[in-house]
């Protein structure tokens, strides 16, 4: 049984004060007993406030990126070793904004996945095609190639424990959600790719999220799909009420 995971990706929003206020507003109303795992991935500068205020609650904490080296002369980067020491559970890697604006390659993403596991955390590996790729009919093969590259040399146990987020670029922040059927179709293809690369058990265990204009109004339909185990949510995860509605999609 895969535990559903509802995750906020705050991107470059929120400051430490707003972070503490957000957590105070949600922490006693989150789903209990791990029926739905909830997670906020915040800017690195907000992580101390997020970790401190979420302590003892059901809310997990994630970073939005890290480097693949633990330390060294890498000005401006974030150490996965230190993220783990701070108490961070997850790190998003390969978000389309990082691939697009910051030129991250599949190879970087694979190195980061290894570094995150080495440091006792779990990656949330993002993938997803542009509108141009989808319209050319190449969406599935494009995403499969991203997954193969990101998972290179990871063990089956590691893959079974990580999270993949399918985020079609054309649906991010545009208000244009992929239909639940489009999202399901791609998430099933991703699961099949994992089965082909590893085995059925690994594919059955890996959690796959959909991301791209998820909101309280459409989360239930998306989460009802067989191969969709969660959401990676930007805009609708910035307000406590909206995040709580997403987390309680099944109530």
Binding site for ligand 13P (CB under 6 A): 9, 95, 167, 172-173, 211-214, 232-236
**Shortest Cβ 156–ligand 13P spacing (Å):** 26
Query: Catalytic: 95?
Result: yes
For ligand 13P, which is the closer residue by CB, 92 or 202? Answer: 92
**Shortest Cβ 177–ligand 13P spacing (Å):** 8
> Which residue in 210, 171, 206 sits closest to 187, CA to CA?
210
For ligand 13P, which is the closer residue by CB, 52 or 89? Answer: 89
- Which candidate in 60, 95, 140, 144 is catalytic? 95
Shortest-Cβ-distance residue relative to ligand 13P: 234
**Shortest Cβ 188–ligand 13P spacing (Å):** 20
- Which candidate in 37, 129, 144, 167 is catalytic? 167
**Shortest Cβ 97–ligand 13P spacing (Å):** 7
Burial class of residue 245, CB neighbours in 10 A (0-12, 13-18, 19+): middle
**Per-residue buried b or exposed e for 86-116, using 16+ beta carbons within 10 Å of the residue's own CB:** bbbbbbbbbbbbbbeeeebebebbbbbbbbb
> Which residue in 191, 218, 219 sits closest to 204, CA to CA?
191
Give the distance from CA 168 to its chain's centroid. 13
For ligand 13P, which is the closer residue by CB, 43 or 212? Answer: 212
d(CA 105, CA 90): 20
Query: Catalytic: 84?
Result: no
First and final CA of the chain: distance in angstroms?
19
Asked if 89 and 62 count as a contact pair (C-beta separation under 8 A), the reply is: yes
For ligand 13P, which is the closer residue by CB, 154 or 232? Answer: 232
What residues are annotated to the active site?
A: 95, 167
């Amino acid at each position: 049984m895969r535990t559903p995971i509802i995750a906020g990706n705050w991107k470059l929003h929120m400051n430490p004060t707003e972070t503490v206020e957000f957590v105070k507003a949600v922490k006693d109303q989150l789903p209990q007993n791990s029926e739905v795992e909830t997670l906020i991935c915040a800017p690195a500068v907000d992580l101390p406030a997020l970790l401190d205020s979420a302590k003892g609650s059901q809310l997990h904490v994630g970073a939005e990126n890290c480097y693949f080296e633990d330390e060294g002369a890498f000005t401006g980067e974030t150490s996965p070793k230190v993220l783990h020491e701070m108490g961070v559970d997850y790190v998003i890697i390969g978000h389309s904004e990082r691939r697009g604006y910051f030129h991250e390659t599949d190879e970087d993403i694979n190195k980061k996945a290894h570094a995150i596991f080495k440091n006792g955390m779990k990656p949330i590996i993002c993938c997803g095609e542009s509108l141009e790729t989808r319209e050319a009919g190449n969406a599935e093969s494009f995403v499969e190639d991203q997954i193969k590259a990101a998972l290179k040399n990871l063990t089956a146990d590691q893959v079974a424990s990580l999270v993949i987020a399918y985020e079609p670029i054309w649906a991010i922040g545009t208000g244009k959600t992929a239909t639940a059927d489009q999202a399901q179709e791609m998430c099933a293809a991703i699961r099949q790719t994992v089965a082909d690369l590893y085995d059925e058990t690994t594919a059955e265990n890996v959690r796959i999220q959909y991301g791209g204009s998820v909101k309280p109004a459409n989360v239930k339909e998306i989460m009802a799909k067989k191969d969709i185990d969660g959401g990676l949510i930007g805009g609708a995860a910035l307000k406590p009420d909206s995040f709580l509605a997403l987390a309680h999609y099944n109530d």
